[in-house]
Structure formats: C-alpha cells, structure tokens
Amino acid sequence: MIFNGIIPVVPPVCIRMDLWHQDAVSRGTLPGEWAGLSVAAIEDRLGFCRSARFRTKPHLEFPEGWVQKTYSGCNHNTIYNFPGDTLRKVEGRTHDQERAGMRAAVLKYPVSSESECRALLRAVERAALVSDLGGFAEFDAKTGDAGMPLLILGSCPVHMLMLEWFGYENFYYALADYPDVLGELIRAVERLFRSSLWSEVFASSAELILHGNHFADATTPPPLFKRFFLPYFHDFNSGAHAAGQRVLWHSDAAMGSLLQLVLDAGFDGADCLATAPLVPERLEDYYRVWQGRIVCWGGLPGIIFHASFPDESFDKYLRQLVEFISGKAGFIIGVSDNIMPGALWKRIALASEVCKN
C-alpha cells in the first residue's frame, strides 16, 4: 500500500527490536505479562507490522581447501590460501558483545597491498557467488498478512569488497595506488552478481528487496557513488521493477550529499532511515528531496528510547513525527537501526499508543 503511493489514515509502524529483545530475554527483564513472548508476539500485541526479514547474504565460495578458519580466544581467524599469496582476516568481539548478538569487528582485513589484490582477483576467477533463497517462499507464507517480508541481499559488489576484504581505508589507498587491478577485481565480482544472483532474485516471490547498505557522505561520497554504485543499482533496480519488485537500501548513516543520487538510482525505499540527532538530516530534509518517491522507513532514532533522552522530549518527538507525516505519502514509522539493549519498555509501549492514534 505505502509503496503504491497510498496515504493511510494511520501510518504503519514497523520497528526492529531484535537486539533489545534478545538482551531482555537473556537478562530476564521483559516486563510481567510480556515475559516469554517472541518478538513477533510482542509486535502483534503492540499493533506493529511484523518486521519480517529474510537474510541471504551472497558470498564468494572458493575451491575446497582454499579457506581455513581457526579460533584464538575471542578472535576468529580466516586464512585464504590463494594461488600466489596467502591472505588473512582477523575478527573479534567480547563475550558481552557475543551475548548481545553483536557481530564481530574486523581487526585485520585480508587485502592491503597490490599483490594481495591480484591474488584475490585470481581467486575470484575460480570462485562462485553463493546465496540461498530456497527458504524465502516458506518464510513469506508463514508471515502471512502480518507484514511484507523483506528479502535481504546485503551489499553491492564494490561495497562488499570495501566492507569485507579491504576496509574503507585500504580501499581508498588501492584506488590511488593500483586502480587498474582494483578495477579488474570490481568488474569480476560484479559479473558474478549479475550472472549468478540477479535472475534468481527477479524470479523469486519477493515483493520487497533490500540491496545496499550504509551509503554515507564520508565513506561513499558522491564521486565514488556515481562511479561504482549508481550504474550497478540503476541496472539492478530496473530489473527488479520489471519483475514487479521494489528495492530498498539500509540507510542508517549520514548521507545528505547522496539524496538525489539514490533517487537517480531508482530506489523505492530507505530502510531504517536515520534522522537527527543521530545524523544531521531530519525527516523533513529527506521528504523535501524525495517527495514520497522514496518511502521513508524510519523517523525514530534508536537513542531516544534510552533514559538519557528526557521523557517529555520523547513524547514531544513522537507527536511531532506523527503530525508531520500525517496526510503525506511515503512513510513507515520505524527505528534507526534497531531498538538497542537498555531501551526503556515504557517508551516502546508509548510509541505504540501514540503512533496508532
């Protein structure tokens, strides 16, 4: 409905609370009658739409024996025995971070030199891009009318390289020091996405697709976005539209300089849209540029659910949000990025009360 430009009487509310719920369950802090309930059951009772997310992260799969994983304390080590060079990746997290469901941080990226980049390029030529969409249809059926499942594909080719193989810093060094080899690598990975992933996604029953994340002024600025992101997403989004699908990106970053570019790329929605005080942009700033052509799925910064944000300010924020979006197309009330551990239950309940009225 929202993605068809229809303006509802009451704006839909779809708030992610997985991390908060996991932490509350582990600590035994779910209040009274809500103790023992799943996230889905809590969403139903609060009158929220189901935050139904099906993750299938495409990843490079190399020939058998090329990848070795070891563990040292809290650190996870991945050794890539590629022809011509050996690459290493180190990830780590504390026990508290693991308990809270937080992903490990990358402590050392695999590629930081031209020889390592060449080794990865040679390995990609022998690799397959693997993604499993097999369970999506069943997930869709189980969700039913409670929500519209979001098929999550993760990053585009160049961003996958930045986030998983180089790190932003090393990627920018590579762009300056050995742009030709880096360019070959980007094109090789993109060919795998286009040949192995696109047709499977476009043939799926998914109506909403999440592809792309963390576009940001600082890390994916306009010149880089125009060169590497815009052509890819223009083609992908066009293919999805031809298949009757809508495409969103995960937008919990400061991206004021990219607002027109994501519109040019043909995106239909901004998932977990970050707003002030997390980023400089307000919901009004996004709407001024997009005018309902990109659905704003957000508006509630996760930080306002914590005790450090005054009660009266929280109530005022909620009511101003509902007032602003009332009568306008292109809004789903959501949180950027997730209601985090330590958030106050009374704030979540109040969000339900105010946003449903």
The two tokens of residue 117 are: 């980049």
What's 242's domain CATH number? 3.20.20.210
Instruction: In whole angstroms, give the CA distance from residue 265 to residue 229.
Output: 8
The pLDDT score that the predictor gives to residue 239 is: 98
**Cβ distance 39 to 338 under 8 Å?**
no
Proportion of the chain in helix, strand, coil states, percent, rounded to 5? 45, 20, 35
Residue 123: partners with Cβ closer than 8 Å, 6 or more residues away: 60, 62, 66, 80, 82, 83
State whether 138 and 45 are in the same domain: yes
State whether 160 and 113 are in the same domain: no
pLDDT in tens, 73-106: 778 899 999 998 999 999 987 666 666 556 778 9
State whether 252 and 120 are in the same domain: no
Residue 192: partners with Cβ closer than 8 Å, 6 or more residues away: 60, 124, 127, 128, 129, 157
Range 138-164 average pLDDT: 92
Cα–Cα distance list, 181 to 26, 178, 184, 224, 250 (Å): 47, 6, 5, 17, 29
- From 10, 11, 21, 24, select the one nearest 43 (Cα to Cα): 21
| Amino acid symbol at 147 | G
Instruction: In whole angstroms, give the CA distance from residue 21 to residue 341.
Output: 8
State whether 108 and 166 are in the same domain: no
Range 339-349 average pLDDT: 93
The two tokens of residue 219 are: 């890390």
Range 56-73 average pLDDT: 92
The pLDDT score that the predictor gives to residue 51 is: 86
pLDDT in tens, 283-297: 999 999 999 999 999
The pLDDT score that the predictor gives to residue 8 is: 87
Residue 260 exposed, middle or buried by CB count within 10 Å (0-12, 13-18, 19+): exposed
State whether 69 and 205 are in the same domain: no
State whether 84 and 37 are in the same domain: no
Pairing of strands 105-108, 85-92: antiparallel
Range 108-117 average pLDDT: 97
Q: Which of 86, 110, 126 is the C-terminal boundary of a domain?
A: 126
Range 112-122 average pLDDT: 97
State whether 120 and 132 are in the same domain: no
State whether 229 and 103 are in the same domain: no
The pLDDT score that the predictor gives to residue 275 is: 94
Query: pLDDT tier at 263 (50, 70, 90 boundaries)?
Result: very high
Instruction: In whole angstroms, give the CA distance from residue 285 to residue 301.
Output: 15
Token look-up 């700033």 returns 285
Instruction: In whole angstroms, give the CA distance from residue 327 to residue 242.
Output: 29
State whether 68 and 53 are in the same domain: no
Q: Which of 104, 126, 148 is the C-terminal boundary of a domain?
A: 126
Query: pLDDT tier at 194 (50, 70, 90 boundaries)?
Result: very high
Token look-up 């997985």 returns 18
Instruction: In whole angstroms, give the CA distance from residue 231 to residue 254.
Output: 22
State whether 290 and 159 are in the same domain: yes
Give the chain's domain count.
Answer: 2
State whether 87 and 225 are in the same domain: no
**Domain span including residue 40:** 2-59+128-355
Q: Which of 110, 126, 142 is the C-terminal boundary of a domain?
A: 126
Neighbours of 80 (CB within 10 A): 21
State whether 105 and 183 are in the same domain: no
Instruction: In whole angstroms, give the CA distance from residue 316 to residue 311.
Output: 9
